[in-house]
Amino acid sequence: MNEALTVALGDRAYPIHFTDSSKALRATLSELRQAQRAVCVLCDANLLASRADYLETAGFTHAEILSLPAGENTKSMEPYATALSFLAQGNRNRDSVVFAFGGGVIGDLAGFVAASYLRGIDFYQIPTSLLAMVDSSVGGKTGINLPEGKNLVGAFWQPKAVFIDTQLLESLPTREFAAGMAEVIKYSLLADRALFDELETLGVLSPQSEALPAIIRRCCELKAQIVIDDETETAASGGRALLNLGHTFAHAIENAAGYGDYLHGEAVAIGLVLATRLSVELGQLERTWIERVIQLLETHSLPVHLKSPLDTSALLTAMQRDKKNRSGSLRFVTLQAVGAAVTTEGVETAVIEALWQGVGAA
């Protein structure tokens, strides 16, 4: 378990450190300082208030840290400009390094800042949420949201390393941990039936669960292999797009409800229900799986219906902006079996409308 996992991308390969991550982080920071490379950390204000000790122990100074507001709205143009100005005002050059200390919002923002500042500088991920540990910190997708849609601006920019320390999850709010479990369940559905069966057997997981570190590592292994095979999501079918199981629906929910009303993982949970139902409607999956997926999500206190009605037309409009779409046609990730996802096109709008109404859309 102590051995790092390598994301094998040739000369851009990088390690994901697990149980020895705090030691690896201190060693990395020491090497950067010896090379006289300036460093900065982007993190959200809530995390800085609760875990500033972690950064201090690692060796970061207060002057190197930029605190940003917590929440999905930080993945937007104004905080992005603030972060760029923080680097520029500190006269940081191309040898400078950005560390992301936070969940998926901070990781995506910091990665895009690093990708665009001086046309690209190095960055490192220190994920502090379960969702970031199993998903967003790995693979190099960075970006911000626009009012028109989620992740419409960004870049593929791989980190130099990822440091996963499950001790950071002990201060994570229960709701945030549950949101991360939606991504864990997603990985079991799209690529690992055995993992799905294990999650059903284990019941409710928590940051203290003995099984959690191995589950996090397994999710990282699954994502790393998909990224290696299709780094920039250019495969004609399948490939990296499969990682978006449930996300075409989830991103539409976030957009129509207003960013921040749902945690990303909560929207993904509803999206997984809809993707499973769509798979059944298309004759790809047995109907009995709908109840099993719903039950597993509800075990972790995740929503399986909309909290309040959202306009179906607004949801459909948001779906049209999904990045997986091809030639103006909606493109979904569906399940031919649990553990075997595919990309599917040509779904009739009436089918999608009915699915939305089945989870409470108006």
pLDDT in tens, 231-264: 999 888 889 999 999 999 999 999 999 988 999 9
Active site residue 251: yes
Q: Which residue has the higher pLDDT, 324 or 143?
A: 143
User: Topology of domain 174-358, per CATH?
Assistant: Dehydroquinate synthase-like, alpha domain (1.20.1090)
Active site residue 218: no
Report pLDDT for 347: 94
Average pLDDT value for the chain: 95
Cβ–Cβ < 8 Å for 149, 251: yes
> CA 150: distance to chain centroid?
12
* pLDDT at residue 2 tops 60: no
> CA 307: distance to chain centroid?
22
Cβ–Cβ < 8 Å for 108, 153: no
Active site residue 75: no
Residue of 72, 231, 233, 254 with catalytic role: 233
Distance, CA of 202 to CA of 355 (rounded, Å):
30
Distance, CA of 351 to CA of 264 (rounded, Å):
24
Report pLDDT for 139: 96
Pairing of strands 141-146, 149-156: antiparallel
Active site residue 150: no
Distance, CA of 135 to CA of 209 (rounded, Å):
19
Residues ≥6 apart with Cβ < 8 Å to 327: none
Report pLDDT for 19: 77
41 SS3 class: strand
Cβ–Cβ < 8 Å for 204, 187: no
Chosen CATH of 5-171 out of 2.40.128.120, 3.40.30.10, 3.40.50.1970, 3.40.50.2300: 3.40.50.1970
Cβ–Cβ < 8 Å for 349, 356: no
Angle at 147 between CA 144 and CA 152, to 5 degrees: 40
CB atoms within 10 A of CB 49: 10
Sheet containing strand 65-68, edge to edge, reads 5-7, 14-17, 162-163, 122-127, 97-102, 39-44, 65-68
Delimit the domains of the chain by residue range: 5-171, 174-358
Distance, CA of 49 to CA of 293 (rounded, Å):
37
Side-chain-side CA neighbours of 301 within 13 Å: the count stands at 12
Active site residue 200: no
Report pLDDT for 328: 66
Residue of 17, 264, 277, 300 with catalytic role: 264
Tens digit of pLDDT for each residue in 342-351?
999 989 999 9
Residue of 183, 231, 254, 266 with catalytic role: 183
Q: What is the 3-state secondary structure (H, E, C) of 234-286?
A: CCCCCHHHHHHCCHHHHHHHHHHHCCCCCCHHHHHHHHHHHHHHHHHHCCCCC
Active site residue 307: no
Active site residue 300: no
Active site residue 291: no
- The kind and range of the H/E element at 68 are strand 65-68
Assessment of whether the complete model's pTM goes beyond 0.85: yes
Tens digit of pLDDT for each residue in 76-133?
999 999 999 999 999 999 999 999 999 999 999 999 999 999 999 999 999 999 999 9
Measured between its terminal Cα atoms, the distance across the chain in Å is: 48
Residue of 218, 223, 300, 331 with catalytic role: 223
> What's the average model confidence in pLDDT over 205-213?
96
Active site residue 62: no
348 SS3 class: coil
Tens digit of pLDDT for each residue in 282-329?
999 999 999 999 999 999 999 999 999 999 999 999 998 876 766 667
Q: Which residue has the higher pLDDT, 320 or 354?
A: 354
Active site residue 119: yes
Lowest mean pLDDT among 70-74, 118-122, 356-360: 70-74
